[in-house]
């Protein structure tokens, strides 16, 4: 039996149900009428939401323009400024003294920043960006730790109509270089370093390396300046004329800066994500539609009462969750939120619960991997803290197994807090499937229903609805406001990746398998392509394979995502060595270890394989396709499935004895 089948059977046994309490439902911002309004007139519903939630400098008269699918335009004749919506708008409404960011550094330092203060900082920074020659349409790479300047940088870039490309601080110099090159960034905003696990982890050196001549690429040519925030106070090299200290220019800059309106489809950001090929895709999002769905979902899915809630999303700004649910959604809604710099286990495993207790967090949004990690450490740790302020819990990034869901509700949510399991993607820009906490009777393990205004289906390979009780592929059947507008510089790849599979029906194919239960609720079953999900982070098998074969020892490599109790999936690689390498190197004892480090250096620590097996051959079909399914069986310690299509049926037993011998 395959892993998928095991989990389906298991999920079908899940019968526990949790309706909202009457008190919660009575005070909730979202009621069942949202579905009714959206069903009656989907586009009219989004127009209404957009007008209600955002400030438009020039009101729009058009809603959706789908004349040239799959290239959508939303609210195309309207104009707005995204940063104005997240900042000045609240100050002008009299909420300037409300705290926007409750920031805590890993060493324990703290900053409380009001909306008025954040607006002031962003205006100054926008003036600095203009001085550095950044204007509408220019690309700015951001490589920063979780500090307030990261939020300010994204907003300042948006304010001047430029496009940010945030690169997660855990990515290597190589990954940084390829993303900077692909976007043609003119400016990089970074820090000397940030705090992680009790030490300063340097960032600027990776930027220096990325911009220097490396791997025969020559010196990077588009970047003119590097703006550096001082955070880690670690020693760094300095390139005169190119590098600029943030603290030497921003506080001195004028705090007068009028936010100009830009058209609704003005690009807001590019965010690179892994696909099925080796090259990361630059997912492009624009302004008006994105901000509408970000604000709408943030308000209704988390039941946000901005005047009283303290919200905390633990995602890093380097991921889409950090973009939509740390920066744009919460700030457009005028929320007060926690921003925490470090890791959950520093200086000890209760750090996150301390943060919740200290700031009185009411809404908490995190990933199943983190929850499973806490389960392993034991309930005593959270139970030693006062978590009674919590009233809504969210989950994102990967399927949450019913055990983890129940633990989350019981131990973190005191047995009464609603849980929203939110399904979405970098490409969808905002939440697509989720319960509404005051409306939906929740089911542990199921993300359940599309949010109001979103049309989804589960279909078979033929594109036909599978019907309740059946599994298939998740598709989005109608364009939505925060949908990606393309892949940066590659419109063909955009069509091919997401729209070709169901071109006849005009459906967006998400890459996920799903099942509809007897009530028609959606259960996500994981990716059906070669994208892995490790700790809620997307990794491409092809990208890691190409990194492995770039090593002098490796002739061929196959990578699979194997089930892992904590991280959901883990990277397991099989490598065949070059004859020439074997002849010239007698000792290959440490090679697997070296290769793991090699991948971490090339891509980033998150891509480091959990295991690498050196094998003499890979299982291939007669037409030469690697049978990853069999390698996954071995990696997960299962009996190997059907091998009859293999060119050489002996290969698997050799591989299996090798792997079992190692365990």
The contact set with ligand WTA (CB under 6 A) reads 273, 319-321, 396-399, 421-426, 447, 510-512, 524, 527, 533, 538
What are the phi and psi torsion angles at 599 (to 5°)? -65, -40
Among residues 528 and 576, whose Cβ is nearest to ligand WTA? 528
Annotated binding residue 360: no
Residue-by-residue DSSP string for 273-321: E--SSSSPEEEEEESHHHHHHHHHHHHHHTT--TTT-EEEE---TTSHH
Closest CB 283 distance from ligand WTA, rounded Å: 8
Annotated binding residue 402: no
Annotated binding residue 426: yes
- CA 563-567-569 angle, 5° bins: 30
Among residues 511 and 604, whose Cβ is nearest to ligand WTA? 511
Among residues 157 and 420, whose Cβ is nearest to ligand WTA? 420
Return the closest-CA partner of residue 557 out of 570, 569, 568, 541: 541
Annotated binding residue 549: yes
Closest CB 600 distance from ligand WTA, rounded Å: 20
DSSP alpha helices (H): ranges in 428-557? 491-498, 541-549
Annotated binding residue 321: yes
Among residues 95 and 277, whose Cβ is nearest to ligand WTA? 277
Closest CB 510 distance from ligand WTA, rounded Å: 6
Among residues 399 and 486, whose Cβ is nearest to ligand WTA? 399
Return the closest-CA partner of residue 413 out of 451, 383, 434: 383
DSSP label of 54: S
Among residues 7 and 127, whose Cβ is nearest to ligand WTA? 7
Among residues 143 and 319, whose Cβ is nearest to ligand WTA? 319
What number of CA atoms fall less than 13 Å from residue 317's CA on the CB side?
Answer: 27
Distance CA 83, CA 115 (A): 12
DSSP label of 531: E
H or E, element range at 591? helix 591-602
Annotated binding residue 376: no
Distance CA 204, CA 215 (A): 19
- CA 405-25-395 angle, 5° bins: 25
Closest CB 514 distance from ligand WTA, rounded Å: 9
Closest CB 424 distance from ligand WTA, rounded Å: 5
Annotated binding residue 66: no
DSSP label of 337: E
In DSSP terms, which residues pair with 561 in a beta bridge? 571
Closest CB 324 distance from ligand WTA, rounded Å: 8
Return the closest-CA partner of residue 368 out of 425, 329, 315: 315
Among residues 225 and 538, whose Cβ is nearest to ligand WTA? 538
Closest CB 661 distance from ligand WTA, rounded Å: 33
Distance CA 485, CA 491 (A): 9
Looking at 435-567, which runs of residues are DSSP E strands? 456-459, 471-476, 486-487, 508-516, 522-527, 531-534, 537-540, 554-564
Closest CB 29 distance from ligand WTA, rounded Å: 21
Annotated binding residue 425: yes
Annotated binding-site residue numbers for Mg(2+)? 549, 551
Annotated binding-site residue numbers for CoA? 196-199, 321, 535
Annotated binding-site residue numbers for ATP? 397-399, 421-426, 512, 527, 538
Annotated binding-site residue numbers? 196-199, 321, 397-399, 421-426, 512, 527, 535, 538, 549, 551
């Amino acid at each position: 039996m395959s892993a998928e089948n095991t989990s389906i059977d298991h999920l079908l046994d899940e019968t526990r149900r949790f309706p909202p309490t009457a008190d919660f439902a009575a005070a909730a911002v979202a009621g069942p009428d949202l579905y009714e309004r959206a069903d009656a007139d989907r586009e009219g519903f989004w127009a209404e939401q957009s007008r209600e939630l955002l400030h438009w400098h020039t009101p729009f008269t058009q809603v959706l323009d789908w004349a040239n699918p799959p290239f959508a335009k939303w609210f195309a004749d309207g104009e707005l400024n995204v940063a104005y919506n997240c900042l000045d708008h609240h100050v002008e409404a009299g909420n300037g003294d409300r705290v926007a960011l409750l920031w805590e550094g890993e060493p324990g330092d703290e900053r409380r920043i009001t909306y008025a203060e954040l607006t002031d900082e962003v205006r100054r920074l926008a003036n600095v960006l203009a001085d550095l020659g950044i204007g509408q349409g220019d690309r700015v790479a951001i490589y920063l730790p979780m500090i307030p300047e990261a939020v300010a940088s994204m907003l300042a870039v948006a304010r001047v109509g430029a496009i940010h490309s945030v690169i997660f601080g855990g990515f290597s110099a190589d990954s940084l270089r390829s993303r900077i090159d692909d976007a043609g960034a003119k400016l990089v905003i970074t820090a000397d370093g940030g705090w992680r696990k009790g030490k300063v982890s340097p960032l600027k050196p990776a930027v220096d390396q990325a911009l220097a001549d490396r791997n025969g690429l020559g010196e990077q040519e588009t970047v003119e300046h590097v703006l550096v925030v001082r955070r880690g106070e670690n020693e760094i090299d300095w390139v005169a004329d190119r590098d600029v200290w943030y603290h030497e220019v921003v506080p001195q800059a004028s705090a007068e800066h009028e936010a100009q309106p830009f058209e609704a489809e003005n690009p807001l950001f590019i965010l690179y994500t892994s696909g099925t090929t080796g090259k990361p895709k630059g997912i492009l999002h624009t302004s008006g539609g994105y901000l509408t769905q970000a604000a709408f979902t943030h308000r209704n899915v988390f039941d946000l009462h901005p005047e009283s809630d303290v919200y905390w999303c633990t995602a890093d700004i380097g991921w889409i969750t950090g973009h939509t649910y740390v920066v744009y959604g919460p700030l457009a809604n005028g929320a007060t939120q926690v921003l925490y710099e470090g890791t959950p286990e520093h200086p000890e495993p209760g750090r996150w619960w301390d943060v919740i207790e200290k700031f009185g967090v009411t809404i908490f949004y995190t990933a199943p991997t983190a929850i499973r990690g806490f389960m392993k450490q034991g309930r005593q740790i959270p139970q030693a803290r006062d978590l009674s302020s919590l009233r809504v819990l969210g989950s994102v990034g990967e399927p949450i197994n019913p055990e983890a869901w129940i633990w989350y509700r019981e131990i973190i949510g005191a047995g009464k807090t609603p849980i929203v399991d939110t399904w979405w993607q970098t490409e969808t820009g905002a939440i697509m499937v989720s319960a509404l906490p005051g409306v939906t009777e929740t089911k542990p393990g199921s993300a359940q229903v599309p949010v109001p205004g979103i049309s989804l289906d589960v279909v078979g390979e033929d594109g036909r609805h599978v019907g309740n009780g059946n599994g298939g592929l998740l598709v989005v059947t109608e364009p939505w406001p925060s949908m990606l507008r393309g892949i940066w510089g590659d419109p063909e790849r955009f069509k091919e990746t997401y729209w070709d599979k169901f071109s006849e029906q005009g459906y967006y194919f998400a890459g996920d398998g799903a099942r509809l239960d007897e009530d028609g609720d959606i259960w996500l079953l994981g990716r059906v392509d070669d994208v892995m999900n490790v700790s809620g982070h997307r990794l491409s098998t092809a990208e890691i394979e190409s990194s492995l074969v770039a090593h002098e020892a490796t002739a061929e490599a196959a990578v699979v995502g194997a089930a892992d109790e904590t991280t959901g999936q883990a990277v397991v690689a099989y490598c065949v060595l070059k004859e020439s390498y074997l002849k010239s190197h007698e000792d290959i004892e440490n090679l697997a270890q070296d290769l793991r480090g090699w991948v971490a250096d090339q891509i980033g620590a998150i891509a480091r394989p959990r295991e690498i097996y050196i094998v003499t051959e890979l299982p291939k079909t007669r037409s030469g396709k690697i049978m990853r399914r069999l390698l996954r069986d071995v990696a997960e310690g299962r009996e190997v499935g059907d091998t009859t299509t293999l060119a050489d049926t002996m290969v698997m037993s050799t591989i299996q004895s090798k792997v079992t011998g190692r365990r």
